[in-house]
Structure formats: C-alpha cells, structure tokens
Amino acid sequence: MSTADSTAQTGSLVIAVDGTSGSGKSSTSRGVADRLGLRYLDTGAMFRAMTWWLLREGIDVGDTAAVAAAAGRPVIESGTDPLAPTITVDGIDVSVEIRGDDVNAAVSPVSAVPEVRARLLDLQREAIGSGGIVVEGRDIGSVVWPQAEVKVYLSADPDARAQRRTAEQGGTDVASTQQSLLERDRIDSGRATAPLTMAEGAVHVDSTHLSLAEVIDRIVELAQERRA
C-alpha cells in the first residue's frame, strides 16, 4: 500500500501508544506517524514541561498543594510534526531543557498530582481533536482517549530498556539507568490517578528483541487492519 493510500485510510485515526520508560515509545510513535501521514503528540513532554516550569519558578515539587495551586499557570504548547516535534512553555522552547537530570528526578511526583493530570488531560484531548494522530504516554488508551481505534502497550525487558536509554543519553552507567527506570515504573504504576496500565483492548508489543523498524511495521499493520 502506498503512503498516499495509507494516509487516506487513516486520516481520522487515533493511535494510542502506552508503555514503560525506555521501551521505544517516542521513536516508534514518530515513525508510525511519519509512515501514515499522521500528527504526533508526546504527552510525556508535556509533564516534563510542567515540571521544568515548576522548578524554574522555585516551587517545591514535593509540596503537592503548591504544585496543584500552580498547575494552571504555565502556557504549554506542543508541536505535532513527527519529524520535528516541539514543546514550549510561555513561548520558550524547552525541548532540550526538559530532558535534563533535574527534570528527570522530579517528573514522577509532579505527574502524580491530580490537578496536573487534569490540566494536561484537557490540553491532550484538545490536541487530539478530530484525530489523525499518534499519541504516546502512559494512560492514553485507558484515560486520555479510550475510544482510540488502535491501542498499543509497548514494553521491553529492564536490561534492554536501560541499554537503550543509556545510549540515548550518551552515558555508560547502565545499572544506574535501570534502577531509575524501575523506580519510575513503580511510581507510575502505583499512583492513584491514571496509573500506568495496559488499556482494555490494547495489543501488547514486546520490543526487547525487535528492531525499531519491526515495531513500527507491526503498529502500521494494526492501523491498516483497523481501517481495511
């Protein structure tokens, strides 16, 4: 099937890609969106952007009440071009800053605050709009857009995830990275509001022994099957 034919068939499609940190959600989701001519939304970047803003404002991210009170203040905007996604806060491009160690250490507790999730949920649903988008995160198929035509839960074993994340960050301490990822899993899976879980009706794709191209192919096939 040609790219043009694929785009015509999937123009209003919503593909929800959930899963654990380091399982390849971002690269996979961008690749799928590009192949199918769809937009792309990284919801994790939105939580990171909120976290970056809180840290810049000097707000104690461990103070749930303070975080909740401030959650409505920053203007967060996400660009949806899969080849050049952007994220801005109050007009400032923070694409690089949100990947820093300080944000990495603080994003999980911020993400667990219900008022933060509610604020960003509204922005995420607004971005999805009439569809034609691949959305990645941890609760897309279960909370953000449970009516998504294609739901995928992407995972990989902890060692593979740690190897990939360490390589992405240009580091060498795989053991420390793995410990950090597992702690993130624990927090995300155990939070009271919108925990990390495999949504009802989702297809589980284990990327441990698959190449990026193979994972993209699998999800593209699912999308085409839904619209056949």
- Which residues are annotated as part of the binding site for ATP? 19-27
CA distance 215 to 205: 8
Ramachandran angles phi, psi of 151, nearest 5°: -125, 130
CA distance 219 to 223: 6
User: Hey, what amino acid is at 6?
Assistant: S
Annotated binding residues: 19-27
Instruction: Classify residue 163 by burial, with Cβ atoms within 10 Å: 0-12, 13-18, 19+.
Output: middle
Concatenate the DSSP letters of all residues of 65-88 into one string.
HHHHHHTTSS-EEE---TTS--EE
Contact by Cβ (8 Å): 131, 182 = no
User: Hey, what amino acid is at 187?
Assistant: I
Instruction: Classify residue 93 by burial, with Cβ atoms within 10 Å: 0-12, 13-18, 19+.
Output: exposed
β partners of residue 155: 206
* Cβ-based neighbours of 227, under 8 Å, separated by 6 or more: 9, 10, 13, 149
